[in-house]
Amino acid sequence: MRKNALAGWLLLAPSLALLGGLVLFPVLYNAWLSLFDKHAFLPVQAFVGLKHYVYFAHDEEFWNSFEHGVVYAGATLVLQLAVGIPAALLLNEGFRGRNLLRGVVLFPYVIPTIVAVILWKWLLNDSYGLVNHWLMASHLAALPVAWLGKDHIMTSLVVTSVWQFFPFVVVTYLARLQTIPPELYEAATVDGAGAWSRFRHVTLPQTASVLFVIVLLRSIWMFTKFDTVWLMAGDGGVSRYIRTLPVYAYARSFTYLQAGMGAALAVIMFVLLLAATAAYFRLFQREEALS
Amino acid sequence: MRRRALIYGSAVALLMIGAFPLFWMVSTSLKPSGEIFATPPRMIPARPTLENFERLFADTRFLTYFRNSATVSLTTVALTLAVSSLGAYGLTRFSFPGRDTIAALILTTYMFAPVMIIIPFYILVKQLGLVNTHLALVLSYTTFCLPFSLWLLRAFFRSIPLDLEEAALVDGAGRGRAVWYVVLPLALPGLIATAIFTFILAYNDFLFALVLISSEELKTLPVGVNDLFNATIVDWGMIMAAGVMITAPAVVFFAAVQRYLVQGWGAGGVKG
């Protein structure tokens, strides 16, 4: 290792310039901007202090979006775990075609969001979609269900998102499963533990820390998800039944052209995430340290 | 016996969940319009046809979007690899005060979701005169891939023994040649994992492309195809053909290098 500060800094300079100029500066500028009334395109701005924050505290649309975000992130998180963990346990067993299946399971995660959304809109199409056809053929529904109408659009969004993102849980959980020493299972079997008991007393404690990370990352990513939510319903029609904070921030900035208000929403999202992350660490850190 | 049945039953279920929607997309894209709306729906097209693809190429700007996406994604991959290799080499081969602090700071920038800074980002790009250029997209994707790529490559570079590099230097190779012929080949799995993550992020992005690009000729696939979808009564056969065309490069790229991916996953995960 050479002590050559100049060379080190020079090599890092392009990275630091990009991160400083295009991430850190915008973050700070965003906080500053949230104190202004600013048009998104025209160079008009007026200092208004905390006015936007006060406004949002009483803004029904804000609370609606917040609620949608919590429902969306919560439901998709639970379902991603419910599908992803059993899938990872399965892919950790030995059977023919396992490697192929490991690859196939990643497809939904690799295809672009636009494809996932148009594909599910086709499957859920009320007149010609396969889902309604199957529901009616098996007499589970008498009439076609309007999956993309206001009553079911949130369900459709959740299904699409779970399909798209559960592979992340599979791969991350599977990577950890593969490192559990087989002796632990052998010992448990010798002690007469059944399958459930082995999962409860060996697998779960061994994977607690990776679950901690999966839950953290996936909650943050679902709460800040923009493209899937936006593509599902755009900015008109039924979009208000699934509008989450990222979509609301986008609409404020680029539809209503109120950049200051959009910036304030971004700050609020950031503070909410920071608070939730801190609370999460406080609640679960002890268990995490044990594993 | 019951255990085997359970395993194979679950495997089939998982296969259906993962692959059936994609199978249905391919099947629909190959059907003539009469069959697309047939009841009951046919799983396999009775008279497969490429007419949906022909319409897609002839009547829309799909090929332009496709070319734009390819240009932007591949440029992003090249730039990210160059910038993050230099940075990771600096972080692992030179010691200087504040080095570890910098590395930690770089990781914290990973916390900011694009949607949280898109407004100031747009204003900044506008002031630089880069609105409606591919360069703006490449720079934004590169920046958002950097924290992850720097950390991944740092881990790979650190695992390459310094002795190998020094042996090359002793043999009379310059620093540049030593890096090119000794370090980079050994870091290849890391470089490939970085390339895949970067490609997927850039190829998939909707938000930056939506905000930063306004002219038709410069649009990338996600925004272009969403416009197609919203434009008129949906031509499902053609839209599914577009879906197949968009998915193919991502899946091929991914399948070719999948084995490198798991290593990258362990080292830092992927965002999304």
Residues 114-143 of A with CB under 8 A from B: 114-115, 118-120, 122-123, 125, 128, 130, 133, 137
The answer as to whether A257 is a domain residue is yes
Nearest-by-Cβ selection for A5 from B15, B96, B200: B96
More reliable by pLDDT, A149 or A4: A149
Domains of chain B, CATH where assigned: 1-49 (no CATH), 59-268 (1.10.3720.10)
Subunit contact A259:B25, Cβ cutoff 8 A = no
Please determine, for residue B269, whether its predicted confidence score (pLDDT) is greater than 90: no
The answer as to whether A43 is a domain residue is no
More reliable by pLDDT, B266 or B231: B231
Q: What is the pLDDT of residue A291?
A: 43
B98 touches chain A (CB under 8 A): no
Q: List pLDDT tens digits, range A234-257.
A: 777 899 999 999 999 999 999 999
Subunit contact A110:B254, Cβ cutoff 8 A = yes
Q: Tell which residue, A109, A131, A147, has the closest CA to residue A233.
A: A147
Interface test with A, best of B4, B15, B66, B119 (most A CBs within 10 A): B119
Distances A145 to A64, B37, B40, B49 between C-alpha atoms, Å: 25, 17, 17, 31
Size of interface A-B (CB pairs under 8 A): 251
Burial (CB count within 10 angstroms: exposed 0-12, middle 13-18, buried 19+), residue A108: buried
d(CA A246, CA A229): 9
- For chain B, the average pLDDT equals 88
Amino acid at B171: D
* Angular region, A234: left φ>0, alpha ψ -120 to 50, beta rest: left
The answer as to whether A213 is a domain residue is yes
Question: Is-cis flag, bond preceding B40, omega within 30?
Answer: yes
Nearest CA of chain B to the CA of A63: how many Å?
18
Token representation of residue B161: 């023994």
**Chain A residue at shortest CA distance from B102:** A16
Subunit contact A108:B258, Cβ cutoff 8 A = no
CA dihedral A182, A185, A189, A192 (to 10 degrees): 160
Q: List pLDDT tens digits, range B164-190.
A: 888 888 887 788 888 888 888 888 888
More reliable by pLDDT, B40 or B135: B135
> For residue B147, which residues of chain A lie inside 8 Å, CB to CB?
19
> For residue A234, which residues of chain B lie inside 8 Å, CB to CB?
230
Q: What is the pLDDT of residue B258?
A: 65
A229 touches chain B (CB under 8 A): no
Tokens 């190429």 correspond to: B57
Interface confidence (ipTM) of the complex: 0.89
d(CA A46, CA A33): 10
The answer as to whether A226 is a domain residue is yes
The answer as to whether A20 is a domain residue is no
Structural contact between residues B73 and B202, judged by C-beta atoms closer than 8 angstroms = yes
- Encode A41-78 in three state secondary structure: CCCCEEECCCHHHHHHHCCHHHHHHHHHHHHHHHHHHH
Q: Tell me how crowded residue B54 is: count the other CB atoms within 10 A of its CB.
A: 12
Q: Number of folded domains in chain A?
A: 1
**Chain A residue at shortest CA distance from B34:** A128
- Is residue A37 helix, strand or coil? strand
**Chain A residue at shortest CA distance from B15:** A101
The answer as to whether A29 is a domain residue is no
Q: Tell me how crowded residue A140 is: count the other CB atoms within 10 A of its CB.
A: 9
Interface test with A, best of B25, B93, B115 (most A CBs within 10 A): B115
**Chain B residue at shortest CA distance from A107:** B18
Q: Tell which residue, B260, B263, B187, has the closest CA to residue A175.
A: B263
CATH number at residue A104: 1.10.3720.10
Q: What is the DSSP letter of A127?
A: T
Please determine, for residue A55, whether its predicted confidence score (pLDDT) is greater than 60: yes
Structural contact between residues A184 and A198, judged by C-beta atoms closer than 8 angstroms = no
pLDDT mean over B110-137: 90
CA A95 to chain centre: 31
Helix (H) or strand (E) holding A286: helix A259-290
The answer as to whether A70 is a domain residue is yes
Can you give the residue range of the structural domain that contains A160?
52-290
A179 touches chain B (CB under 8 A): no
Measured in residues, chain A has a length of: 291
CA B217 to chain centre: 21
Nearest CA of chain B to the CA of A79: how many Å?
13
Q: List pLDDT tens digits, range B76-101.
A: 999 999 999 999 999 988 888 888 88
Q: What is the pTM of this model?
A: 0.91
The answer as to whether A15 is a domain residue is no
Question: Phi/psi of residue A100, each to 5°?
Answer: -60, -45
